[in-house]
Amino acid sequence: MSDPAATVLFVPGLRDEVADHWQTLLAARLPRSRTVPPLGRANLDCAARVEALEREATAIEGPLVLVAHSGGCITVAHWAARTRRAVRGAFLATPPDFDQPLPEGYPTPAALAAAGWLPVPRARLPFPSRVGASRNDPLARFERVAQLAQAWGSELADLGPVGHLNPASGHGDWPQALTWIASFLDIR
């Protein structure tokens, strides 16, 4: 019996789904994809985001691949500690460093702690994973992301100078994303 194609579940960051974001554009192109529904930018509750991920993941039948960006990567790390859902693999793009103050306009460490994000899980993920790190991300130094990747047991992918890999850094459509997640998919 052949292995069925995986469903890709996109896990957006704290700013939720953005129309011209590479995740949103890629989700529209992939035949078997879903996105964790938005909870609203004002809703920082980590537990609510983890529960939303759990609902979507358990509703998907068959193989599952996660594609997370920014705070979605941290959501995945929190979720992985509690779920029983099997995952074929995860691509975690530009996780932020919640342990350090973020630029103005982003939540403060105190707000993140109050919402349940801290401490950021550093346990090995129970599935294969690849962490994409930027050389010039304003939300995390490359070295800090490399430490997270090591703690999570993830392969580290050096994405080069891609900023935070979002529309503000010039990344709407990002065809290379499929290259980074292809090893987890059955693409024919």
> Counting every residue, how long is the chain?
188
**Residue-level pLDDT at 188:** 39
pLDDT for the residue 3? 56
Q: Which positions ≥6 away from 167 have C-beta within 8 Å?
A: 18, 20, 21
19-23 long-range contacts, CB within 8 A, separation 24+: 20/167, 20/172, 21/69, 21/166, 21/167, 21/172, 22/69, 22/165, 22/166, 22/171, 22/172, 22/173, 22/174, 22/177, 23/67, 23/69, 23/177
Fold designation for 9-184: Rossmann fold (3.40.50)
Question: Which residue has tokens 């129970």?
Answer: 126
pLDDT in tens, the chain (188 residues): 345 789 999 999 998 778 889 999 999 999 899 999 989 888 999 999 999 999 999 999 999 999 999 999 999 999 999 999 999 999 999 999 999 999 999 999 999 999 999 999 999 999 999 999 999 999 999 999 999 999 999 999 999 999 999 988 888 888 888 888 888 876 43
Q: What is the pLDDT of residue 183?
A: 82
- Tell how strand 155-160 and strand 129-134 pair up: parallel
Residue 179: what pLDDT? 86
